[in-house]
């Protein structure tokens, strides 16, 4: 480099400016070489040393704000481990952001405090990162959030197994404020998810904080029964305090994403403490609520505020007057009409489904085809086999009486009825009301006598007796336990 800054043409080994720039990893152009020459000539002799030459930067790269060599102190990985191990042992998140918050709060991280990216690099270098490359990108989800506290709450429940000898299962209800993520009410109950316990949790939360404008939940029968076509007890109670019960789209739990994410945090916390009784579980839940509301910075809030601080900053809205029950009934009737229209749509009736045929029947059908030729297939004509007396309709397998076996029937579908007519006599043999409401565990097997509003032309004594028993059960059973 000195040979270029102080050229000596008489020397036989003199090099051109382009070759010197290529050798020194400088852009190969005459302008770069000339600029380097003038810069070196204007500086001191030490500036021409190759070990002290200024590093070439990109055009758009910002210059460092501090002189080189000032930030030589790197945070020790040992200073991060106490916070990480303690958070993991207590059941909290132990990522870089959580470690930084915990280290600052406890004084374990002193100045200069490392950034989140620095802590992440330390964890990655130590092999303490639980990577998830298949995580869904946040940009694919439409985010929503109310502007003030008490505008909307979210409620949901999940099953938790206690760590006792019987592995007792309990139900935990969690209620969060949508704007501030403040836990307004989390309780545990021994019974399965039901509307009675859900109402108890809401009554306690409303008595302490007041009633919100809206309550968002899933379409479970314990929280909201509007989409089933009638007003439940929980919706009626909320209307009396001025709260409107709303639900997300069926089969779309992302709408209740804030609550679903809160379930995971609470589940990890309980797994770390392993409660054995219902009282212990309730005690740990109170500890969880106090820590999350008042101490733990929430990464979903601006500036990582705590929910309690966010509650004070955004403020609360005023409570609304009671809602007229007529409004709820109109909404339930609207959902009922939409459900009937959807089920009566011809495009949704699965005409291609038929009764499963046994191997013996398949052999008999092949013999008939060879002898008489193939008959045109009519999707509305049914022949109930003796060993498999079922009809498939909209994914439901309905068992029919034995008096209908080995007989041919025509099927008719209207907006409110599903009928089976004898192909020989033309009489209506079986009539099922739509939409189907039955007492059954699932759609794989539904007895015809357990369907509400079913009618049969010539019922047997056994079928009629079971039908009468089902009618009595319809009057006493919880509507949420019915198959719809």
The pLDDT of residue 137 is 73
Any domain includes 65: no
Q: Indicate if the pLDDT at residue 161 is higher than 90.
A: yes
User: Which of 418, 404, 379 is CA-nearest to residue 459?
Assistant: 404
The pLDDT of residue 11 is 56
Confidence of residue 207 (pLDDT cuts 50, 70, 90): very high
Q: Which residues touch 139 (CB under 8 Å, ≥6 apart)?
A: none
Q: Indicate if the pLDDT at residue 263 is higher than 80.
A: yes
Q: Indicate if the pLDDT at residue 46 is higher than 70.
A: no
Cβ-count burial of 98 within 10 angstroms (0-12 exposed, 13-18 middle, 19+ buried)?
buried
The pLDDT of residue 10 is 56
- Do 188 and 322 reside in the same domain of the chain? yes
CATH code (residue 308): 3.30.420.10
Return the structure tokens found at 56: 């070439």
Determine the Cα–Cα distance for residues 443 and 207; give it in Å rounded to an integer.
Answer: 41
The pLDDT of residue 470 is 86
- Do 208 and 316 reside in the same domain of the chain? yes
Least confident of 91-100, 172-181, 340-349: 340-349
- Do 323 and 428 reside in the same domain of the chain? no
The pLDDT of residue 347 is 39
Tell me the H-state helices in 144-277. 195-209, 233-240, 257-273
Q: Indicate if the pLDDT at residue 386 is higher than 70.
A: no
Q: Which residues touch 305 (CB under 8 Å, ≥6 apart)?
A: 297, 298, 313
Tell me the H-state helices in 80-212. 81-90, 96-106, 116-125, 195-209
Determine the Cα–Cα distance for residues 194 and 258; give it in Å rounded to an integer.
Answer: 21
Confidence of residue 239 (pLDDT cuts 50, 70, 90): very high
Q: Indicate if the pLDDT at residue 243 is higher than 70.
A: yes
Mean pLDDT, residues 369-388 taken together: 58
Q: Indicate if the pLDDT at residue 160 is higher than 50.
A: yes
User: Which of 226, 264, 263, 228 is CA-nearest to residue 245?
Assistant: 226
- Do 151 and 192 reside in the same domain of the chain? yes
- Do 315 and 439 reside in the same domain of the chain? no
Return the structure tokens found at 305: 């505020």
Q: What percentage of the chain reaches a pLDDT higher than 70?
A: 71
- DSSP string covering 322-356: PPPHHHHHHHHHHHHHHHHHHHH-GGGS-TT----
- Do 237 and 320 reside in the same domain of the chain? yes
244-247/214-217 β-pairing? parallel
- The mean of the pLDDT values for the chain is 77
Task: Give how many domains the chain has, as a whole number.
Answer: 4
Q: Which residues touch 165 (CB under 8 Å, ≥6 apart)?
A: none
Choosing from 48, 63, 85, the residue where a domain stops is 48
Q: For helices 233-240 and 325-344, what crossing angle results, to 10°?
A: 150
Least confident of 251-255, 258-262, 382-386: 382-386
- Residue pair 243/213 in contact (Cβ under 8 Å)? The answer is yes
Choosing from 292, 310, 336, the residue where a domain stops is 336
- Do 118 and 200 reside in the same domain of the chain? no
256 secondary structure, DSSP code: G
Any domain includes 154: yes
Any domain includes 107: yes
The pLDDT of residue 209 is 93
DSSP H or E run through 482: none
Choosing from 290, 305, 336, the residue where a domain stops is 336
Any domain includes 57: no
What Å distances lie between residue 203 and 186, 193, 234, CA to CA? 12, 16, 10
Residue 318's domain comprises: 142-336
User: Which of 85, 87, 156, 73 is CA-nearest to residue 118?
Assistant: 73
- Do 331 and 352 reside in the same domain of the chain? no
- Do 188 and 306 reside in the same domain of the chain? yes
Greatest mean pLDDT among 275-279, 336-340, 358-362, 376-380 lies in: 275-279
Return the structure tokens found at 463: 């079928």
Any domain includes 8: yes
Largest CA distance in the chain: 125
Mean pLDDT, residues 349-370 taken together: 56
- Do 313 and 373 reside in the same domain of the chain? no
Any domain includes 54: no
Please tell me the number of Cα atoms within 13 Å of 151 on its side-chain side: 13
Cis status of the peptide bond prior to 435, with omega within 30 of 0: yes
Determine the Cα–Cα distance for residues 179 and 311; give it in Å rounded to an integer.
Answer: 8
The pLDDT of residue 244 is 92
DSSP H or E run through 293: helix 278-294
Is the whole-model pTM more than 0.75? no
Confidence of residue 183 (pLDDT cuts 50, 70, 90): very high
Mean pLDDT, residues 233-252 taken together: 89
Number of Cβ atoms within 10 Å of the Cβ of 292: 23
Any domain includes 110: yes
- Do 161 and 287 reside in the same domain of the chain? yes
Any domain includes 408: yes
User: Which of 174, 176, 171, 175 is CA-nearest to residue 193?
Assistant: 171
Q: Indicate if the pLDDT at residue 188 is higher than 50.
A: yes
Give exposure, 411-446, as e/b (b: 16+ Cβ within 10 Å): bebeeeebbbbbeeeeebbbbbebbbbbbbeebeeb
- Do 376 and 455 reside in the same domain of the chain? yes
Determine the Cα–Cα distance for residues 358 and 185; give it in Å rounded to an integer.
Answer: 56
The pLDDT of residue 211 is 93
- DSSP string covering 438-471: B--S-TT-EEGGGBTT-EESS--HHHHHHHHHHH
Q: Indicate if the pLDDT at residue 200 is higher than 50.
A: yes
Least confident of 123-132, 255-264, 279-288, 413-422: 123-132
């Amino acid at each position: 480099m000195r040979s270029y800054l102080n050229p000596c043409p008489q020397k036989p080994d003199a090099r051109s400016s382009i070759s010197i720039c290529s050798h020194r990893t400088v852009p190969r152009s005459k302008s770069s070489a000339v600029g380097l020459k003038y810069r070196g000539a204007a500086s001191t002799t030490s500036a021409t040393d190759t070990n002290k030459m200024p590093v070439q930067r990109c055009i758009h790269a910002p210059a460092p704000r501090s002189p080189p060599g000032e930030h030589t102190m790197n945070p020790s990985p040992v200073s991060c481990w106490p916070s990480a191990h303690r958070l993991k042992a207590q059941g909290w998140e132990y990522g870089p952001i959580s470690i930084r918050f915990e280290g600052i709060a406890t004084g374990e991280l002193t100045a200069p405090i490392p950034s989140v990216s620095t802590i992440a690099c330390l964890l990655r270098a130590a092999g303490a990162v639980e990577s998830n490359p298949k995580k869904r990108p946040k940009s694919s989800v439409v985010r929503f959030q109310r502007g003030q506290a008490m505008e909307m709450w979210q409620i949901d429940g999940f099953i938790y197994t206690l760590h006792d000898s019987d592995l007792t299962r309990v139900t935990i209800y969690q209620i969060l404020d949508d704007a501030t993520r403040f836990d307004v009410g989390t309780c545990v109950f021994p019974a399965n998810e039901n509307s009675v316990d859900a109402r108890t949790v809401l009554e306690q939360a409303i008595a302490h904080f007041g009633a919100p404008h809206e309550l968002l939940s899933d379409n479970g029968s314990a929280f909201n029964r509007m989409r089933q076509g009638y007003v439940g007890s929980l919706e009626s109670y909320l209307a009396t305090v001025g709260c409107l019960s709303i639900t997300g789209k069926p089969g779309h739990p992302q709408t209740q994403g804030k609550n679903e994410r809160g379930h995971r945090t609470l589940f990890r916390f309980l797994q770390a403490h392993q409660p054995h009784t219902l009282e212990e579980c309730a005690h740990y839940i109170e500890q969880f609520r106090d820590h999350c509301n008042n101490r733990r910075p929430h990464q979903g809030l601006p500036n990582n505020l705590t929910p309690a601080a966010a509650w004070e900053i955004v403020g609360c809205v005023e409570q609304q007057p009671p809602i007229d029950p007529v409004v709820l009934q109109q909404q339930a009737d609207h959902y009922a009409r939409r459900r009937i229209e959807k089920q009566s749509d011809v495009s949704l009736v699965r005409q291609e489904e038929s009764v499963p045929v046994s191997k013996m029947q398949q052999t008999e059908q092949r013999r008939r085809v060879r002898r008489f030729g193939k008959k045109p297939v009519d999707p509305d004509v049914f022949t109930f086999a003796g060993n498999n007396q079922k009809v498939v309709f909209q994914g439901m397998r309905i068992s029919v009486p034995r008096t209908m076996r080995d007989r041919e029937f025509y099927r008719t579908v209207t907006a409110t009825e599903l009928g089976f007519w004898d192909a020989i006599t033309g009489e209506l043999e079986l009539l099922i009301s739509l939409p189907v409401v039955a007492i059954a565990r699932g759609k794989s097997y539904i007895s015809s006598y357990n369907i509400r509003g079913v009618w049969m032309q010539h019922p047997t004594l056994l079928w009629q007796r079971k039908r009468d028993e089902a009618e009595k059960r319809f009057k006493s059973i919880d509507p949420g336990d019915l198959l719809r």
